[in-house]
A = this chain, B = another copy of it.
Amino acid sequence: MDSAAPLAGSLAIVRTVAELRARVRIWRAGGERVGLVPTMGALHDGHLSLVARAQEDCDRVVVTLFVNPKQFGPNEDFARYPRDESADAAKLGAAGADLLYAPDVAMMYGDGFATTVTVVGLTDGMEGAVRPGHFAGVATVVAKLLNQAGADDAYFGEKDYQQLAVIRRLADDLDIATRIHGVPTVREADGLALSSRNAYLTNDQRKIAPALQRGLAAAAAALAGGAAVQSTLDAACAAILKAGFDAVDYVELRDAYTLASLSTLTRPARLLAAARLGKTRLLDNLAVDPR
């Protein structure tokens, strides 16, 4: 049928759209529900929680591994982004995933590639401001991956909350039939959100890193208790810096769904932050609900 080679137990790896579709077609023809977990590899327990959630909903789970050059800026970490396909495949095999789709750049962006998917509004500010072009790269590759797989459901982490909102929007706007699900962030015991970029942290930075989550949690508690928004965000920013972060890119309160900026807590909201430890940017976010 195709050239997929078994590896790490029963996990097969395919590298072409044709092979991916052939697998999914067979499963769907047999009445099986197929879930998709797009990743850039460097898999950790956060990714595996997406796989586990997909397994709850679906009969088959496809994980994609593609470090997408279009979502990295010229001065970002595309070249040094951690890559270890064998280790990733072993983790996915152990987790019981059914297929790893790992295309190369030429498969994703062939000769003459000329199309970009952009989402306005949701991409204003926060990561969109710090990383120009980032969300166009994300939206384009996610539209492709969703169309390539034709899965019933797809799973993304709440860890990248603005990204999740952008993906929900583009899938809805472009009528991609796959349902988009957000999955809660997985954290270390000290509260640090799992991220492939945590691997960049020195031991000293690693000790400082949980201060980002602590700052957000304190701000969320204050806001839920009725504190004023701007002074609370300013205090969170100061606390994160005081704990040892080198810079805070933003701490913002946004509508949980539209990501509209909020100056008062009148509806379900999200606190989102990004801060820098040396050259490493860490992101985190928490839900905040009005009383």
The yes or no answer to A105 lying at the interface (CB within 8 A) is: no
Interface string of A3-24 (1 = CB under 8 A from B): 0000000000000010001000
Pair B175/A144 contact, Cβ less than 8 Å = yes
Q: In the complex, which residues 16-38 of chain A have their Cβ closer than 8 Å to any Cβ of chain B?
A: 17, 21
Pair A118/B120 contact, Cβ less than 8 Å = no
Pair B258/A112 contact, Cβ less than 8 Å = yes
Give the residues in chain B near A172, CB-CB below 8 Å: 110
Which chain B residue has the least Cβ–Cβ distance from A146? Answer: B175
Pair B120/A148 contact, Cβ less than 8 Å = no
The yes or no answer to A204 lying at the interface (CB within 8 A) is: no
Give the residues in chain B near A21, CB-CB below 8 Å: 177
Give the residues in chain B near A118, CB-CB below 8 Å: 115-116, 118
Most buried by B among A118, A119, A169: A118
In the bound complex, what is the Cα–Cα distance between A117 and B119 (angstroms)?
9
Q: In the complex, which residues 245-291 of chain A have their Cβ closer than 8 Å to any Cβ of chain B?
A: 258
In the bound complex, what is the Cα–Cα distance between A148 and B176 (angstroms)?
7
Pair A147/B176 contact, Cβ less than 8 Å = yes
Pair A117/B115 contact, Cβ less than 8 Å = yes
The yes or no answer to A139 lying at the interface (CB within 8 A) is: yes
Give the residues in chain B near A140, CB-CB below 8 Å: 174
The yes or no answer to A189 lying at the interface (CB within 8 A) is: no
Pair B112/A119 contact, Cβ less than 8 Å = no
Contact A169/B114 with A17-B175, A147-B176 known, Cβ cut-off 8 Å: yes
Pair B120/A116 contact, Cβ less than 8 Å = yes
From B115, B173, B176, contact of A173 by CB (8 A): B115
The yes or no answer to A42 lying at the interface (CB within 8 A) is: no
Give the residues in chain B near A148, CB-CB below 8 Å: 175
From B110, B150, B173, contact of A113 by CB (8 A): B173
| 3 closest residue pairs by CB, A with B | A115-B173, A147-B175, A148-B175
9 A-B pairs (CB sep. < 8 Å): A21-B177, A110-B172, A114-B119, A114-B169, A115-B169, A115-B174, A116-B117, A117-B174, A148-B175
A interface residues, Cβ below 8 angstroms from B: 17, 21, 110, 112-122, 139-140, 143-144, 147-148, 150, 169-170, 172-177, 258
Question: Besides A115-B119, A117-B117, A147-B176, 10 other CB < 8 A contacts?
Answer: A21-B177, A110-B172, A112-B121, A112-B258, A114-B173, A115-B139, A115-B170, A116-B119, A140-B174, A147-B147
